[in-house]
Amino acid sequence: MPCATSDAMTAQQKPTLGQKWRGFVELCHRPKTKFDVKDRTRALILFAIVVKGLMELVRMVK
């Protein structure tokens, strides 16, 4: 016998792509734990290093 909550879930409209995107952005803006903050800091530092490296590469090729 199916659960009553599964019927209610199927009756709801599926989220649009815009709603999914807003939810993802909201999730990214609010870190849940200190490990999220550390991971995001590391990712930001890595991104900055990659950008700096690409800038140097473009300057050398130019």
Residue 12 lies in a domain: no
pLDDT tens readout for residues 23-38: 888 877 887 787 777 8
In a domain, 19, yes or no: no
Domain limits at 46? 32-62
Q: Is residue 61 part of a domain?
A: yes
- Is 41 domain-assigned? yes
Burial state string for 5-35 with b = 16 or more CB within 10 A and e = fewer than 16: eeeeeeeeeeeeeeeeeeeeeeeeeeeeeee
Please give the tally of structural domains in the chain.
1
If you search the block for the tokens 């990659």, which residue do you land on? Answer: 50
Residues 6+ apart with CB under 8 A from 37: 31
In a domain, 7, yes or no: no
In a domain, residue 36? The reply is yes
Q: What is the mean pLDDT of each run of 10 residues along the chain (62 residues)?
A: 56 86 84 79 94 97 88
Helices (H) and strands (E) in the chain, counts: 3, 0
- Residues 40 and 8: their CA atoms lie apart, in Å, by 37
Is 43 within a domain? yes
The answer to pTM > 0.85 is: no
